[in-house]
C-alpha cells in the first residue's frame, strides 16, 4: 500500500494513546506514505511517526451549534479540509475513534479499503471490539489496526521516560470540570509534600488556582506551559498527581508513577485505570 490515511479527531488524551499504533504502522509499512488527520494542536506529538499531518478543528455539526464566531470558524475550517481531501486517493483509510463528528470525513475520503465508523460499529456488534474502550489493557487504536490489517499487535508503551528528577507534577484540572480535583483537596495534598511541585494547567484554570495555598516548594506554571513542555515535565517527574486528564495519559503511556484522583460518577476504575505504577484516590 503506497498511501495510508489515518483519522483520529478526538480529545488529546485519546490521541496520545494511539501514538504507539502510529509508530507500529510506520514500522509495518516503511515504504508507504502515512497521512494523519487529527485534532488541531496535536500534530507535534505525531510528527516522528507519520509523513504528513493534517490538523482539523473539531466541528459542531452534530451537536447544538454554539452561536459565536469561533464556532462558525471551526466549522468553516473543517469543511475546507474535507474538500481538500476529496481530491486525493488512498489505498487504505483507518478511523481510530468511533466518533460521530468524523462521519463526514468517512463519506468524502476516497480509499480502496476503508475501516470507517460503520465497519467499527459492525465489529463492536460482533464483539470483536470492547464495548467500552479499555484504554490501558486493549487500546482501541491497536485493536482496530490489528483487525484492519491482520497484523497482530499487543498493547505497548511509548517509554519516552528519562531519568526522573526529584520533583512532582500536580495536574488537578481537566477539560471536563466534574473530573477536577477540588481546591480543598489540592490544598490537603500540598500540605503533605515537601518536594518541589510543579502545578500545571491552562489559562482558564488561573482563577480557580488563585485559591490554592502558596508554598515555597510549589512552582505555579498554570497557563505557562505548552503541550510539549507539559509532556517533558511529566516524563522527568518522580510522580504525577492528577485527575482524569491529558496528564494522566502522558504519565500512563510512559509508565511514570501516578497518584490518580477520580470521581466514581464519571470514571470507571475497573475499565479505565492504568495498569502500572498507579494509586487510586476517590474524590
User: CA 137 from chain center: how many Å?
Assistant: 16
Domain 168-282 fold: Rossmann fold (3.40.50)
Q: Which helix (H) or strand (E) holds 19?
A: helix 19-28
| Mean pLDDT in consecutive groups of 10 residues from the start of the chain, 283 residues | 88 85 87 93 91 83 56 79 89 80 80 78 68 45 69 63 85 90 94 95 90 92 93 94 92 90 68 71 80
How many angstroms separate the CA atoms of 135 and 17, rounded?
8
- Is 168-282 the same fold as 3-149? yes
CATH of domain 3-149: 3.40.50.2000
Sign, CA dihedral 173-206-257-38, equals positive
**DSSP-based three-state secondary structure for 145:** helix
Give me the pLDDT at residue 134, please: 41
Residues composing the chain: 283
Give me the pLDDT at residue 11, please: 83
Q: Parse the chain into domains and list their residue ranges.
A: 3-149, 168-282
Tell me the sheet residues that pair with 34. Answer: 4
Give me the pLDDT at residue 195, please: 95
Q: Which residues of 167-176 are buried (b: 16+ CB within 10 A; e: fewer)?
A: bbbbbbbbee
**Quick count: other Cβ atoms within 10 Å of Cβ 148?**
20
How many angstroms separate the CA atoms of 242 and 81, rounded?
35
Q: CA of 5: how far to CAs of 21, 38, 98, 158, 164, in Å? A: 13, 11, 16, 22, 36
Q: Is residue 188 a contact partner of residue 259, using CB atoms and an 8 Å limit?
A: no
Give me the pLDDT at residue 266, please: 62
Q: Cell triple for residue 207? A: 482563577
Q: CA of 114: how far to CAs of 45, 91, 93, 124, in Å? A: 25, 8, 5, 16
How many angstroms separate the CA atoms of 103 and 52, rounded?
21
Give me the pLDDT at residue 268, please: 58
Q: What is the pTM of this model?
A: 0.82
Give me the pLDDT at residue 4, please: 94
Sign, CA dihedral 41-160-219-197, equals positive
Give me the pLDDT at residue 151, please: 67
Amino acid at each position: 500500500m503506497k498511501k495510508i490515511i489515518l483519522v483520529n479527531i478526538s480529545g488529546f488524551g485519546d490521541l496520545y494513546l494511539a501514538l504507539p499504533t502510529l509508530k507500529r504502522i510506520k514500522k509495518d509499512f516503511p515504504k508507504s506514505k502515512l497521512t494523519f488527520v487529527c485534532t488541531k494542536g496535536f500534530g507535534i506529538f505525531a510528527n516522528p511517526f507519520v509523513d504528513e499531518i493534517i490538523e482539523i478543528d473539531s466541528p459542531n455539526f452534530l451537536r447544538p451549534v454554539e452561536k459565536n464566531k469561533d464556532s462558525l470558524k471551526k466549522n468553516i475550517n473543517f469543511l475546507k479540509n474535507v474538500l481538500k481531501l476529496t481530491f486525493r486517493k488512498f489505498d487504505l483509510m483507518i478511523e481510530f475513534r468511533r466518533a460521530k463528528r468524523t462521519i463526514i470525513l468517512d463519506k468524502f475520503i476516497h480509499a480502496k479499503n476503508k475501516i470507517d465508523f460503520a465497519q467499527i460499529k459492525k465489529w463492536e456488534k460482533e464483539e470483536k471490539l470492547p464495548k467500552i474502550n479499555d484504554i490501558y489493557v486493549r487500546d482501541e487504536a491497536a485493536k482496530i489496526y490489528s483487525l484492519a490489517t491482520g497484523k497482530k499487535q499487543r498493547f505497548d508503551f511509548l517509554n519516552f521516560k528519562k531519568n526522573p528528577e526529584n520533583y512532582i507534577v500536580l495536574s488537578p484540572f481537566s477539560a471536563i470540570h466534574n473530573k477536577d480535583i477540588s481546591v480543598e483537596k489540592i490544598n490537603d495534598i500540598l500540605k503533605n509534600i515537601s518536594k518541589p511541585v510543579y502545578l500545571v494547567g491552562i489559562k482558564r484554570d488561573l482563577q480557580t488556582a488563585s485559591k490554592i495555598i502558596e508554598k515555597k516548594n510549589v512552582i505555579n506554571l498554570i497557563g505557562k506551559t505548552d503541550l510539549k513542555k507539559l509532556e517533558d515535565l511529566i516524563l522527568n517527574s518522580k510522580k504525577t498527581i492528577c485527575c482524569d486528564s491529558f496528564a494522566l495519559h502522558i504519565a500512563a503511556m510512559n509508565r511514570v508513577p501516578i497518584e490518580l484522583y477520580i470521581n466514581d460518577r464519571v470514571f470507571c476504575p475497573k475499565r479505565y485505570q492504568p495498569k502500572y505504577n498507579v494509586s487510586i484516590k476517590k474524590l
